[in-house]
Every structure is written in structure tokens, then in C-alpha cells.
Amino acid sequence: MRIFTDKTNFLKFSTFGFDDRLMEGIDASGYEEATPVQQQVIPHILAGKDIIASAQTGTGKTAAFLLPLINRIITTPHDSSTINALVIVPTRELAIQIAQHLEGLSYFAGVSSIAVYGGGDGGAFVQEKKALSMGADIVVCTPGKMMAHIKMGYVKLGGLKYLVLDEADRMLDMGFYDDIMFIINHLPAKRQNLLFSATMPPKIRELARKILHHPEEINISISKPPEKIIQQAFVVYEPQKIPLVLKQLREHSFKTVLIFCSSKQSVKQLTRELRRNKIKADEIHSDLEQDKREEVLMEYKSGRLPVLVATDILSRGIDIDNIELVINFDVPHDGEDYVHRIGRTARAEADGTAFTFVTPKEQRKFAGIEKLLGKPVPKGTVPPELGEVPEYNPVASRPNNQKRNFKPRRFGNRNNSKPSA
């Protein structure tokens, strides 16, 4: 097992020897140079090796596994009456995004694909059943929904050659371990396995030992945000947080703002206050119906919605460019979540800004994040009209006894696509 570190030299995609049909899709999608994780991962997947990879959000890992998968499918003989590749992801939003990404890259390659996730109507179920029983080249799915289909007895998995687990740490945090193992127990023993995880805690290592065979290990993630992100922390009391958000949005000319809250109740309350103060804002959380979530996300991506308030559903995996400001309305649960949240800004070549509000009960938690970062986050000045603020003294502050609690919620949903040939 080898461990690779980051590389700064970028390679042209033409150096990988991809099929011409795939290169057309790459060119049409606007890709020119491979990112470090793509440079490290793609050759091993093309060589048929199992992979365990750790990569920070925004590093291009989705294309890192999609491109070699598409290439292998279109250049090697395979049974078109079965599912050839299964990509398992934690949320329906990520399933939709990967399916759309896949459709664009494989547009000229004639690869069939479908996204399988919960929350759809009867028509969606019929479409899923047809694809899963008749065969599809690549299926992108959430664990609970795929397990439900398998239990019904019509899913064709006998010829499956490739398994991808994306955001594996997130799936385990959400309680999907048993669902994942149920699916894996219905797959052929001989297959290529690709495991991607933002972090590598012991439970991920254990999962890797169970399903991977002599894997190559790639480690691009250092659990630190890009240097070009301007970070500031504002030490405040809880009642000062909403007034501070309002003041920051009014006094700065940020065109796209993403605000993270640790609970859906906070998301709803903050969104109401923003709207009441004539700020155009909307929200995304697990209580929203699937269609509404997709509608809000599309509005935000298009630039028509300047402020989006969300739970950590959007902290990982979702690819939104040009976010100028990320606000952590609550201190994230841990350092990894902090990196993922603020990693939504300063993507590609753009700069970005990240503000974090720290209340007295969250000071110890935030100090732990600063320790992971290896340096203190500069403290911003709270406007004096908001009143007296607490001193930042994490050693003296009361520890936060709240434990992280992920519910095994199925964020599934629909989007299927058989790309045009």
C-alpha cells in the first residue's frame, strides 16, 4: 500500500490515454488539466487496482473516479443486461450532482446511467425498477434506496465490475454501515473497489480492510483550508448573532453568501429574520421536499438568489462556484466540518471569505478547530452598537457537552438520466 502526497504540477487529460469519445466529453465540459487527486487516482483505476483515497472538498475527486470508470466501460467488453458500476453516496443532492456530472462527461460515449434515491413519485420508481432490472452501465445511488430495491429481487448485480463508495465517512456518520454491507454482500466477490473519504478515522480503515484488496492509498487532504480563504472569527453572545449577520450583509457587497447553521431550527429562524429585513434569502434543510430543495439550489447556483441558509447537507460534495462569503452561524462540530464548510468558498481561482460566530459555550470547541488548523483564526471586531461582547478565553469557558448526533436519514431523490450517445 503506497501513500501519495499532493503534487502541484498539472497534467493534460490527454496524457491518460482516454478513448476519443471520452475526450470529447472532457473537452465539452471545459476540463483541460488534471488536479492532483486526479493525477494520483486515475492511473491506478485504469490499471484495475482498488483505491482508498482521502481528498479535501473541491479537489476534483468526482471526475477522478468517473473518468476512468467511463473509459473502462467503453473500452472493455461488458454485459449490457446487468449493472456494471455502482456509485454509493450519502445524500440525494450528491447523487443528483454526480449523475449530472456523469451525463456531461459521457455524452459522446453512449454510457447509460441512472440516479437512484428516495423521495420520488411512482413514475420515478418505475423508471428505477426498469433500469435496475434491465441493466445500466453506471448507477449512482443512496444506500437505503438501493437496499430497498435489492430486497424486491429484481436488481441485476451479477455482472457488476466496479464499486465506488463516495464520502464514505459521511455515510457511516449517518448510520448507513449496515445498508452498505447489505448491498456489498449482494455483489460479485471479484470486482474493483474505490473508496473515497474526506477523513480516515478507524471505522473507515475497518471498512476498507473488509472490502478492499491490496489497495493503493492516496492522501491529498491535509484537513486545512486553502490559504487564499480570508478567515475571521467573531466572539459574540447568542442574541448578537442575527444582528451581526444583518450588519455584515448590509455593509459588505458580497454577491453570493452561504450561511451554515448546525440545526434546521436555526436555519428556519435565520431565514425568516433575513426576509423580514428585506434580504433575499432561502433555506435548505432536511424538512424540505425534494423538489423544493432542487429549486432553491438551482436559484442559488444561477445567481438569482444571493443568500442561502443551510445545514451541513451542503457542506460536502455539492459543487457551487463563485461563493464569496461563507458564514458559520454556529461553530461546526469539529475541524473537518469547519474545513468542509469554508471550503465552499475560494474554489477554483477565486478568493473567498469565511466568518465564524463563536459564543461562550462554543469557545473550547473552536479552540480545538484552531489547534487542527495549526494557528489561531484572526478575531474580527464586533460593531460597538451591538453591545458588549464576551472575552475569548476558551480555557475558562465551559465545555460544550453536546454530542454530535447524526440520524440515519435517507436523503434520497430522483434524477435519472440516460445520457445521449
pLDDT score recorded for residue 221: 53
pTM above 0.75, yes or no: no
* Cβ 155 vs Cβ 149: under 8 Å: yes
CA distance 399 to 361: 7
CA distance 324 to 283: 18
Q: What are phi and psi of 383, to 5 degrees?
A: -55, 135
3-state secondary structure of 53: strand
Model pLDDT, residue 227: 77
The H-or-E segment that residue 173 falls in is: helix 168-173
What's residue 34's pLDDT?
83
3-state secondary structure of 113: strand
H/E run at residue 163 = strand 162-165
How far is residue 1's CA from residue 54's CA, in Å, rounded to a whole number?
Answer: 14
Strand ranges inside 280-368, DSSP E = 281-284, 307-310, 325-328, 352-358
The residue among 146, 142, 140 whose CA lies nearest residue 106 is: 140
pLDDT reported for residue 286: 79
305 close to 22: Cβ distance less than 8 angstroms: no
Q: Which residues does 365 contact at the CB level (< 8 Å), separation at least 6?
A: 331, 333, 334, 400
Half-sphere exposure of 168 (CA within 13 A, CB side): 27
Torsions phi, psi for 352 (to 5 deg): -155, 165
185: number of CA atoms within 13 Å, CB side? Answer: 9
- The pLDDT value given to residue 412: 33
Residue 400, pLDDT score? 40
How far does Cα 310 stand from its chain's mean position?
14
Contact 234, 355 (CB under 8 A): yes
Q: Which domains does the chain have, with CATH numbers?
A: 3-222+410-417 (3.40.50.300), 229-386 (3.40.50.300)
DSSP state, 29? T
On whether the CB atoms of residues 315 and 344 are closer than 8 A, the answer is yes
Identify the DSSP state of 16: G
Whole-number Å distance between alpha carbons of 81 and 157: 10
Select from 332, 353, 348 the least CA-distant residue to 400. 332
Angle formed by the axes of helices 177-184 and 202-211, to 10°?
A: 10
Q: What is the pLDDT of residue 30?
A: 72
Place of cell 476512468: 68
Q: Which three cell numbers stand for residue 9?
A: 504540477
Which ranges constitute the DSSP H helices of 118-160?
A: 122-134, 143-151
Helix or strand (DSSP H, E) at 242 = helix 241-251
Q: Which of 314, 36, 358, 387 is nearest to 167 (CA)?
A: 314
Q: Spell out the per-residue pLDDT of the chain, length 421, in tens.
A: 444 444 445 588 999 999 999 999 998 887 777 878 899 999 999 999 999 998 755 567 889 999 999 999 999 998 889 999 999 999 998 899 899 999 999 999 999 999 999 877 778 889 999 999 999 999 999 999 999 999 999 999 999 999 999 999 999 999 999 999 999 999 999 999 999 998 888 899 999 999 999 999 998 754 577 778 899 999 999 999 999 999 999 998 899 999 999 888 999 999 999 999 999 999 998 788 888 988 999 999 899 999 999 987 776 556 677 889 999 999 987 676 788 788 777 665 557 899 999 999 999 889 888 877 888 999 999 999 999 999 999 876 544 433 222 222 222 333 433 333 2
pLDDT for 399: 40
Q: Which residues face 282 on adjacent strands? A: 308
- Show the cell assigned to 76: 472493455
Question: What is the secondary structure of 195-221 as a DSSP string?
Answer: EEES---HHHHHHHHHH-SS-EEEE--
Nearest Cα to 71, choosing from 40, 97, 30, 105?
A: 105
Interacting residues of 87 by C-beta distance below 8 A, sequence separation 6+: 65, 98, 138, 139, 140, 141, 164, 166
Pairing state of beta strands 257-260 and 307-310? parallel
Kind and range of the H or E run holding 257: strand 257-260
